[in-house]
């Protein structure tokens, strides 16, 4: 077997051929992008629909209308990672989401027959959460998303939190005794 020299590789690929191949790759990603995202969600242990329900539940547990879904997506990422690695976690999350779906599908009114993530009425979704509040699924999601949600430095300014003060010498010299109304 003969090895190609570097100069042979360079002459084999032209700039035009490189650009043509790159354009084809971009087109392939653009066409199959949604399918790649769905596959990534399922590779993480949860289906795309389960991921959507988990995100909606996290938003219902910690409702902040001014926050984008991207913050909630980062909050559920550790649970998705754990579900991808641990079959018991995947089963717990899938089973809990199935319970939420069953509760909203059995509800009356416009929400009847809809899975949890498709229910627009927040009261119906909260009622479904209250039905499972004492269970292991609720505990796992509540405890597993609170810290990742609120521990995002880019989120802190939205709540008026300036971040930890320890790197700036603490609060003693930064407003500790600025209270002038006492």
The per-residue pLDDT for range 23-71, each reduced to its tens digit, is: 444 444 444 444 444 444 444 489 999 999 999 999 999 999 999 999 9
Which stretches does DSSP call E strand in the chain? none
List of residues 6+ apart from 61 with CB closer than 8 A: 129, 141, 142, 145
Triad 87, 82, 43: Cα angle to 5°: 75
Beta-strand ranges (E) seen in 30-148 are none
Cα radius of gyration rounded to whole Å, the chain: 24
pLDDT at 106 over 60: yes
- The ranges assigned to domains in the chain are 1-43, 45-168
Distances (CA, A) of 135 to 4, 5, 81, 94: 63, 64, 21, 14
Global confidence as pTM? 0.69
């Amino acid at each position: 077997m003969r090895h190609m020299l570097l100069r042979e590789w360079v002459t084999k690929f032209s700039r035009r051929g490189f650009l043509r191949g790159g354009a084809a790759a971009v087109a392939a990603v653009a066409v199959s992008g949604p399918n790649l995202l769905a596959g990534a969600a399922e590779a993480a242990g949860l289906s795309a629909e389960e991921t959507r329900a988990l995100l909606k539940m996290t938003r219902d547990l910690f409702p902040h209308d001014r926050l984008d879904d991207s913050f909630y997506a980062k909050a559920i990422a550790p649970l998705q990672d754990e579900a991808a690695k641990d079959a018991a976690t995947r089963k717990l999350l899938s089973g809990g989401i199935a319970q939420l779906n069953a509760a909203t599908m059995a509800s009356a009114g416009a929400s009847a027959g809809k899975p949890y993530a498709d229910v627009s009425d927040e009261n119906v979704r909260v009622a479904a959460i209250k039905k499972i509040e004492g269970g292991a699924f609720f505990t796992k999601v509540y405890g597993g998303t609170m810290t990742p949600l609120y521990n995002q430095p880019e989120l802190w300014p939205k709540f008026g939190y300036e971040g930890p003060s320890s790197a700036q010498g603490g609060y003693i010299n930064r407003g500790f005794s600025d209270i002038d109304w006492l």
